[in-house]
């Protein structure tokens, strides 16, 4: 069996689509399923399109119904093969409701033989708009597959081993920082001398310009455009608390699951995907607003026993419920059903 994967980003780029698609490609290859991966823009080049045709895929899997689904649909129609549309977040949370894009998203979801979502809330959102596709939606939880490589992130940034460090791994765009409260961090820094590391590539130039204009005055905030995925585990280990400040996700955020898998306490916004994996006070903390964020961030700074408890529980929770094998087997089952 041969699978062509189309994804908006892929390593060495970082971010959710890159992480999920590369994890899937690795998992499929380990099962003897051949894969080929393209970015949507690469397939505008005739040589790459011919390379894909020569590969002779049995199925095309498009990560992000809008960004990859458009070219994925064209390829499947030309080659007469099925399309799997994997919904990854903004395609359904935003594009499905935008006047200029919703028609195309609906067309792609209707055409796809199978739709994969990461969480039931995404399925419910799709079904409200397209009830006819309900029976072809499959829920496959995201999982974690980290590679460990030594790093010296504190030394590299000049951060003392005694400093308390918050870590926010997220692309620089509005939906990832909609619950980011700079004023709260400023107050925490004044009171406790905390540091903050931001890591993620810029995906929204206008938002980034405004955002960096605000944070550039604070020397205790560090920005890293890219962290190789094989170093991310090390960065989690050398920081104290991982953050998620998103206003929407495609399900469970990869970065949240990765932080939890290494036993790092997570402080995350109260969106559906986060609340589905974080049980507030048991294996992480959920915040509802700015005051709640400050209160819980301060609690994590002051209470080392709480951090240890959350870290222990969160690592065990991921070990029991989010196994890489189950994710890959879920996709393989779909492929086999499509081939019948």
- Residues 144-169 as b or e (16 or more Cβ within 10 Å = b): bbbeeeebebbeeeebeeebbbbbbb
How far, in Å, are 14, 60, 185 from residue 294 at the CA level?
28, 45, 8
Whole-number Å distance between alpha carbons of 81 and 317:
38
The confidence score (pLDDT) of residue 17 equals 87
Q: Does residue 226 carry a pLDDT above 90? A: no
Residues 6+ apart with CB under 8 A from 186: 218
pLDDT band at 198 (very low <50, low <70, confident <90, very high): very high
The confidence score (pLDDT) of residue 250 equals 74
The confidence score (pLDDT) of residue 340 equals 59
The confidence score (pLDDT) of residue 231 equals 87
Secondary structure, 3-state, 22-72? HHHHHHHHHCCCEEEEECHHHHHCHHHHHHHHHHCCCEEEEECCCCCHHHH
- Domains along the sequence of the chain with CATH: 2-143+323-339 (3.40.50.2000), 153-321 (3.40.50.2000)
pTM as predicted: 0.87
Q: Report long-range pairs for 45-49 (Cβ below 8 Å, ≥24 apart).
A: 49/75
Whole-number Å distance between alpha carbons of 88 and 131:
19
Out of 138-147, 217-226, 265-274, 294-303, which region has the weakest mean confidence (pLDDT)? 138-147
Whole-number Å distance between alpha carbons of 193 and 195:
7
pLDDT in tens, 212-223: 999 999 999 999
Whole-number Å distance between alpha carbons of 20 and 118:
11
Indicate the SS3 state at residue 277: helix
Which burial class, exposed, middle or buried, applies to 94 when counting CB atoms under 10 A from its CB (0-12, 13-18, 19+)? middle
Query: Which of 161, 157, 266, 138 lies closest to 221 in space, CA to CA?
Result: 157
Residues 6+ apart with CB under 8 A from 313: 282, 283
DSSP codes joined into one string, 189-250: HHHH--EEEEE--BS-HHHHHHHHHHHTT-TTEEEES---GGGHHHHHHTSSEEEE--S--S
Which bin fits 137, alpha (ψ -120 to 50), beta or left (φ > 0)? Answer: beta
């Amino acid at each position: 069996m041969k699978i062509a994967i189309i994804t908006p980003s892929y390593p060495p780029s970082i971010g959710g689509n890159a992480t999920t698609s590369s994890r899937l490609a690795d998992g499929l290859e380990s099962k003897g399923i051949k894969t080929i991966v393209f970015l949507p823009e690469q397939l505008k080049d005739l040589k790459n399109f011919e390379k894909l045709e020569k590969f002779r895929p049995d199925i095309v899997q498009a990560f992000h119904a809008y960004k990859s689904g458009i070219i994925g649909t064209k390829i499947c129609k030309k080659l007469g093969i099925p399309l799997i549309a994997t919904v990854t977040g903004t395609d359904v949370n935003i594009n499905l409701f935008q006047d200029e894009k919703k028609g195309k998203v609906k067309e792609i979801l209707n055409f796809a033989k199978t739709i994969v979502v990461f969480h039931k809330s995404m399925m419910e959102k799709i079904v409200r708009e397209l009830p006819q596709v309900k029976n072809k939606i499959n829920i496959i939880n995201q999982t974690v597959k980290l590679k460990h490589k030594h790093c010296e992130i504190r030394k590299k940034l000049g951060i003392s081993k005694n400093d308390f460090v918050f870590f926010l791994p997220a692309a620089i765009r509005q939906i990832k920082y909609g619950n980011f409260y700079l004023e709260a961090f400023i107050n925490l820094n004044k009171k406790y001398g905390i540091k903050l590391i931001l890591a993620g590539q810029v995906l929204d130039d206008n938002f980034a310009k405004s955002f960096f204009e605000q944070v550039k005055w604070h020397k205790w905030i560090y920005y890293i455009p890219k962290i190789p995925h094989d170093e991310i585990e090390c960065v989690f280990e050398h920081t104290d608390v991982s953050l998620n400040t998103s206003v929407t996700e495609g399900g469970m955020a990869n970065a949240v699951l990765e932080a939890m898998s290494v036993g790092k306490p997570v402080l995350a916004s109260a969106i559906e995907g986060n609340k589905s994996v974080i049980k507030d006070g048991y294996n992480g903390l959920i915040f509802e607003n700015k005051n709640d964020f400050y209160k819980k961030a301060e609690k994590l700074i002051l209470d080392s026993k709480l951090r240890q408890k959350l870290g222990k529980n969160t690592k065990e929770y991921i070990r029991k419920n989010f196994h890489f094998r189950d994710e890959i087997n879920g996709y393989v089952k779909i492929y086999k059903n499509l081939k019948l």
